[in-house]
Amino acid sequence: MRGEGYYSERTAGARNVINDAGAMVFDALRDLPPASTLRLADYGAADGGTSQQMWDMVIRNCRNNGDERQIEIMYTDLASNDFSTLFRIMQGMQGDATYAYQNHFKNVFVHACGTGFHEQLLTSSSLHLGFSATAMHYVSIKPMEISNHVHAACGDISSKTAFANQAAVDWQNILLARAAELVPGGRFICLNFGIDAEGRYLGNTGGKHMFDHFHKFWKELYDKRSITKSEYEGATFVQYYRTMEEFCAPFSDPNSDVSRAGLVLKSSSTKLTKCPYEAAFHDAGGEMSSREYAESLIPTMRSWSETVFKTALKGRDSSEINKIVDDFYQAYSDEVAASPEGHAMDYVHIILDIEKTTASISS
Ligand SMILES: C[S@@+](CC[C@H](N)C(=O)[O-])C[C@H]1O[C@@H](n2cnc3c(N)ncnc32)[C@H](O)[C@@H]1O
């Protein structure tokens, strides 16, 4: 993600999805077995800004219900993440301080971890509730470049299979790592990008297809010889959108490693969250121009996608990289401004509530 707060400032949709899950998190906390302190984790938190209001609400509910226990909250992301911005946001030193919960409540301890979530990150049986939003579609390694598209969801059968296999291994590792970290009775709530029963996924919900547009404008740069063939092919998102079946597979088999580690699926559902930028455009009637709409929509797409295109250009001078990537998003923005209808970034999430039961079978 782009640092310095750029991500959370431009990602209202992700924040809305997390806020909607606040009640689920609070209910899970109430079901936890007794403990003298509470240890929470937010996996793949970026700068922490998008989940801050939810955590503020959850902690406020705990305190309002007389729960004065010490709370430790561990934010995790990749080592390259801008953790410094995260710490400033939590302490109200950057951005809107309304939900800077460290300023509101005593005995809340904020920590961070820069190791990827495919591994165990916390000491065994120490975590009461883990949470993750919009992060676990990132696979741990890119199994191949997708030569004729940018995303596995739109790739040919061989790239889809390669990414699906990697995602299955990663999902098992994610779950086994959480099984090791959670206390018996602990919970893991995750809201992951995925493909719903109607085949919809991020940016592909019936209107204009976002990833096809990324591909179209990237290919135009190649066709104009502004980028090379390997740069064109190198723009491959290291992501895979799992289906509900793929998410649930480790839980359906009582003899799987995940089931034997004691994890059970308490609930699963899918959720479509409409693009807030498109809604604001429609609500504004004639008050917002299509250019203004384009200038609100494209930065939210850019906040999480630009590293893919910048990485494909590595080896070039940074000013050249910035110029090419600016031109790329400008082309997309110009198309939205010229013809805004159907351009949007609706979210599609698969929401899972997982419990570590007391029973785990060791082999
Ligand atoms: C789209 S952002 C989501 C941020 C926030 N959770 C939200 O919902 O707005 C995805 C985040 O996952 C992080 N991420 C990707 N792979 C990861 C990994 N293996 N371990 C930890 N974090 C990872 C990225 O660095 C990024 O900050």
Burial 41-80, CB ≥16 within 10 A → b, else e: bbbbbbbbbbbbbbbbbbbebbbeeeeeeebbbbbbbeee
Q: What's the Cα-to-Cα distance from 318 to each of 1, 4, 146, 324, 326, rounded to whole Å?
A: 17, 18, 24, 10, 12
Among 43, 77, 300, which is best to mutate for testing ligand 1, by the most ligand atoms less than 8 A from CB?
77
Domain borders along the chain are 1-202+241-274+346-363, 206-235+276-344
CA distance 96 to 8: 11
Q: Does pLDDT of 270 surpass 80?
A: yes
pLDDT digits (tens, 9 = 90+) for 91-101: 999 988 999 99
The class that CATH gives domain 1-202+241-274+346-363 is alpha beta
Tens-place pLDDT, residues 153-209: 999 999 999 999 999 999 999 999 999 999 999 999 999 999 999 999 999 999 999
Tell the residue nearest (CA) to atom 20 of ligand 1.
116
117-147, pLDDT tens digit by residue?
999 999 999 999 999 999 999 999 999 999 9
Average pLDDT, the chain: 95
**Ligand 1, atom 13: nearest CA belongs to which residue?**
44
Pocket test for ligand 1, best of 4, 17, 84, 117 (most atoms within 8 A of CB): 117
Q: Is the pLDDT of residue 362 over 60?
A: no
At residue 363, the pLDDT reads: 47
Distances 320 to 223, 288, 299 between C-alpha atoms, Å = 18, 33, 20
Residues with CB under 6 A from ligand 1: 1, 11, 14, 18, 44-46, 50, 76-78, 81, 116-118, 133-135, 138, 304
Is 9's pLDDT higher than 90? no
Instruction: Report the pLDDT averaged over residues 225-244.
Output: 97
What is the residue with the minimal CA distance to atom 5 of ligand 1? Answer: 45
- What pTM did the predictor assign? 0.94
Residues 119 and 29: their CA atoms lie apart, in Å, by 24
Instruction: Tally the C-alpha atoms within 13 A of residue 187's C-alpha that lie toward its C-beta.
Output: 19
Report the 10 Å Cβ neighbour count for 291.
Answer: 14
The backbone torsions φ and ψ at residue 34, rounded to the nearest 5 degrees and listed phi first, read: -55, 145
Considering the chain, what percentage of its residues have pLDDT values greater than 70? Answer: 96
CA distance 15 to 155: 29
pLDDT of residue 12: 80
